[in-house]
Amino acid sequence: MGESVNTLAFLVMALAAIGGAVGMLTSRNIMYAAFWLLWTMLSVGGLYLLLSAEFLALIQVMVYAGAVSVLMLFVIMLTLRRREDAVRSLDFSPSAALLAAVFLGIMYYGISNATFPEVALLAEAPNTADLGVVLFTMEGGWLLPFEISALVLLAAMVAAVWWTKGQDRR
Amino acid sequence: MTGYWLIAPEVIVTLGALIALFGNMLPGKDRTTALLSAALCVGATAVAWLATPGEAIFGGLLTSSAPASVMRVAILLLTAVWLLWLSSRGYEGERSREAVAMALFSVTGALLLTHTTELITMFIALELATIPAYMLMGYRRRDIHGLEGALKYFLLSMLTSLIMLYGLSFLYGLTGTTHFGQIAEALPGTGTLGLIAAVLTMVGLFSKLSAAPFHFWAPDSYAGAPAASVAFVSTVPKLAGVLVLIHLVQAFQGIPGIELVLAFAAAASMLLGNLSALGQTDTRRLMAYSGVAHTGYLLIGLAGAVAVGGGQEGYLATTFYAIAYSIPSLAIMLVVAEEGDSVADMTGLATRRPWVAWAMLAWLVSLIGIPPLAGFFGKLYLFETGLEAGLAWLVLIGVVTSIISAAYYFRIVRAMFLAPAEEAPDRPAGEVAASRSADAALVIALVATVAVGVGASLVMRALGWV
């Protein structure tokens, strides 16, 4: 019983994510495309929840569905003054379709023939506090990548400021 | 130097970057910032050189090795030379302290990359090494072509980063670990998906090293960018990228078929790079294609090493060639930044600044691969590995395309020494101002080109060649 409910929930979430991605690519109005993307991000958040990754699901909803999509809507609002500008042309490119089909074929072949290792599930799903220990302490082991990502953000921020500010004193 | 001292160079360089962000407060501003940063890089070199090989820190996220130490020294010294040059030349129309800070952030990423033996650290360090490069490529904010080139670089680089991330997720799913050593053990038994994951992962690095068929961004973004930025971006982060590619290939070498992928990329890069460079009139574009070609030569070494089942010689030859290639190309781009972007701008350089023209000749000759300069020994080691591995067809392409490369390199030589003065375009800026620190940077690069060539066996021994 529990297994089939899980599978059903997974199928709903997965199809919603894929459907949202297709909707984003095929809607001519980029405003709609942005909302389809929001839909996809929420569905992916649901998938994380199914994996008992509550923290990741929360971050997915807060950062991607919350902040990133609002940011995108703001960009659309600030850059496109007229309603007609938001409508884009959709070109169908046969070569891109062929490339995508070949890629899909290769990935399908690879995944259907792969043997994934058996991983023993943890007795208890790790919670947010466990994640904090892993990320923020030396014993956790992942402090270094976390600190490097701080530097990445700093560099990206300086670059953004450099490009957006006007002429300055030398 | 043991334990956490291993990351002392990264810490020093990061501090330099943070100081450079506050360069406004230093007396002398741009010039002091660049000189201070260059001094910090030289100091970090000494610390990097003293590292004990084979030591793991952060629970195995970073591991020191002899090739990594040599690469770190090369990265830091090249950066110091670039900063020394920048301290007097700067960027036309822009202040240069932010460029110094960004370059140092990129160097921090590059230094971390040389030691990383784990996928997550590798990915984030790779991003740290490349994100500042986007800004450097579009450093002139009012230059629409520069911004277009930077945007192209950013979009393509991000796309390939995502493909790489897709590959990394499969690697983790197949092996249950992110450490290179354990991946190498688990991957050969995983069948086709292992090969697919490995290829997807390498796509990201191929693009960052501008190897064909993922090189499209390079010519356009180099041609829009300030030559001084190209000098840095096309050499320093690349050095680290080569070492990471070596570490990854070492982890993948048990997968059947991987040497064919490497050999294909090598052949495509050598042919496309050298043939496309022939018709170029912009030196930056020419050097971009030449960079594609040189990445192709590097891949011969990797393909050869995999073909013989993990020959150390091939990996060391690749490391050596990366260093031997990057010194001359940094120096050539610095001269381009001084003299002008098109090949015609070099006209009459031999009469205007004779010693610079002769130095340019030495760097170009090293890139072609004529003894006794660094490039010759680099190619010698690479072709030797290729032949020993039975990849004669690949070595043949390498030799033939090296001869082709002489054709376009000698167009620059002809402009410098032989072209009549009428071919020179009008030079609105007039003479290049004399500058002792910029000249010193070029002299150091010239000495290094000769020294790495004459002392090739010493460098190889430092890399761990037995």
Which string of DSSP letters, residue by residue, matches A87-155? B------HHHHHHHHHHHHHHHHHHHT--PPP-PPPSS---HHHHHHHHHSTTTS-HHHHHHHHHHHHH
Q: Are the Cβ atoms of B61 and A145 closer than 8 angstroms? A: yes
| Residue B172: partners with Cβ closer than 8 Å, 6 or more residues away | B119, B178
Contacts of B175 in chain A (CB under 8 A): 117
Closest CA to B276 of B210, B375, B362: B210
Flag the least confident range among A123-127, B128-132, B253-257, B395-399. A123-127
Residue B321: both structure tokens together: 């060639």
Contacts of B173 in chain A (CB under 8 A): 116
For residue A29, what are the β-bridge partners? A87
Any A CB within 8 A of B91 CB: no
Q: What is the pLDDT of residue A166?
A: 66
Residue A159: both structure tokens together: 């670059």
Among chain B residues, CA nearest to A142? B58
Q: What is the pLDDT of residue B399?
A: 93
Provide the pLDDT confidence category of residue B199 given band limits of 50, 70 and 90: very high
Q: Are the Cβ atoms of A159 and B102 closer than 8 angstroms? A: yes
Give B11: exposed, middle or buried? Use CB within 10 Å, 0-12, 13-18, 19+: middle
Residue B88: both structure tokens together: 């007097």
**Run means of pLDDT, 10 residues per run, chain A, 170 residues:** 80 94 89 92 93 87 91 87 77 87 93 82 77 84 92 94 74
Any A CB within 8 A of B213 CB: no
Of A107, A159, A163, the CB nearest to B131: A159
| Alpha-carbon span B203 to B213, nearest angstrom | 9
Mean per-residue pLDDT, B5-20: 94
The packing angle between helices B354-368 and B374-388, to 10°, is 0
Of A119, A155, A162, the CB nearest to B176: A119
Cα separation of the two ends of chain A: 70
Of A107, A113, A148, the CB nearest to B112: A148
Q: Are the Cβ atoms of A117 and B120 closer than 8 angstroms? A: no
Q: What is the pLDDT of residue B202?
A: 93
Residue B307: both structure tokens together: 């073909």
Closest CA to A155 of B105, B104, B20: B105
Any A CB within 8 A of B138 CB: yes
Do B249 and B301 meet the contact criterion of CB atoms below 8 Å apart?
Answer: no
Do B183 and B120 meet the contact criterion of CB atoms below 8 Å apart?
Answer: no
| Alpha-carbon span B253 to B275, nearest angstrom | 30
Contacts of B61 in chain A (CB under 8 A): 141, 144-145
| Alpha-carbon span B81 to B88, nearest angstrom | 12
Closest CA to B159 of B111, B195, B200: B200
pLDDT at B429 exceeding the cut of 70: no
Residue owning tokens 């670089």: B153
Sign of CA dihedral B116, B122, B128, B130: positive
Chain-centroid distance of CA B157 in Å reads: 16
Q: Are the Cβ atoms of B61 and A158 closer than 8 angstroms? A: no
Residue B39: both structure tokens together: 């001094």
| Per-residue 3-state assignment (H helix, E strand, C coil) for B35-88 | HHHHHHHHHHHHHHHCCCCCCEEHHHCEECCHHHHHHHHHHHHHHHHHHHHHHH
The two most distant CA atoms of chain A are separated, in Å, by 70
Q: Spell out the domains of chain A, with CATH numbers in brackets.
A: 1-88 (1.20.120.1200), 124-170 (no CATH)
Sign of CA dihedral B112, B113, B114, B118: positive
| Alpha-carbon span B27 to B55, nearest angstrom | 41
Contacts of A145 in chain B (CB under 8 A): 61, 120-121, 124
Provide the pLDDT confidence category of residue B404 given band limits of 50, 70 and 90: very high
Q: What is the pLDDT of residue A4?
A: 83
Of B95, B106, B141, the CB nearest to A163: B141
Among chain A residues, CA nearest to B97? A170
For residue B390, what are the β-bridge partners? none
Residue B2: both structure tokens together: 């043991």
Top residue of B94, B130, B196, B200 to mutate, by most chain A CBs within 10 Å, is B196
Top residue of A148, A153, A170 to mutate, by most chain B CBs within 10 Å, is A148
CA distance A120 to chain B (A): 11
pLDDT at B446 exceeding the cut of 90: yes
Tell me the three state secondary structure of residue B310: coil
Contacts of B109 in chain A (CB under 8 A): 148, 151
Q: What is the pLDDT of residue A168?
A: 61
Q: Tell me the average pLDDT of chain B.
A: 90
Of B58, B132, B193, the CB nearest to A110: B193
Any A CB within 8 A of B141 CB: yes
Among chain B residues, CA nearest to A163? B141
Residue owning tokens 């050969």: B188
Residue owning tokens 């609105």: B428
Of B30, B59, B134, the CB nearest to A159: B134
Residue B161: both structure tokens together: 């980063």
Provide the pLDDT confidence category of residue B431 given band limits of 50, 70 and 90: low
Mean per-residue pLDDT, B121-130: 95
Do B319 and B67 meet the contact criterion of CB atoms below 8 Å apart?
Answer: yes
- Upstream peptide bond of B9 is cis (omega within 30 degrees of 0): no
Residues 60-119 of A with CB under 8 A from B: 106-107, 109-111, 113-117, 119
pLDDT tens track for B173-186 = 998 889 999 999 88
Residue owning tokens 């089909």: A101
Any B CB within 8 A of A150 CB: no
Do B191 and A115 meet the contact criterion of CB atoms below 8 Å apart?
Answer: yes
DSSP B179: B
Any A CB within 8 A of B189 CB: yes
Of A114, A117, A144, the CB nearest to B121: A144
The two most distant CA atoms of chain B are separated, in Å, by 66
Flag the least confident range among A72-86, B117-131, B218-232, B340-354. A72-86
CA distance A82 to chain B (A): 25
CA distance A164 to chain B (A): 9
| Residue A19: partners with Cβ closer than 8 Å, 6 or more residues away | none
- The number of residues making up chain A comes to 170
| Alpha-carbon span B459 to B450, nearest angstrom | 13
Sign of CA dihedral B345, B350, B355, B360: positive
pLDDT at B236 exceeding the cut of 80: yes
Tell me the three state secondary structure of residue A43: helix
Tell me the three state secondary structure of residue B210: coil
Q: Are the Cβ atoms of B132 and A162 closer than 8 angstroms? A: no
pLDDT at B127 exceeding the cut of 90: yes
E strand or H helix that includes residue A57: helix A54-59
Contacts of A156 in chain B (CB under 8 A): 131
Q: What percent of chain B clears pLDDT 90, i.e. is strictly above it?
A: 66
Any A CB within 8 A of B330 CB: no
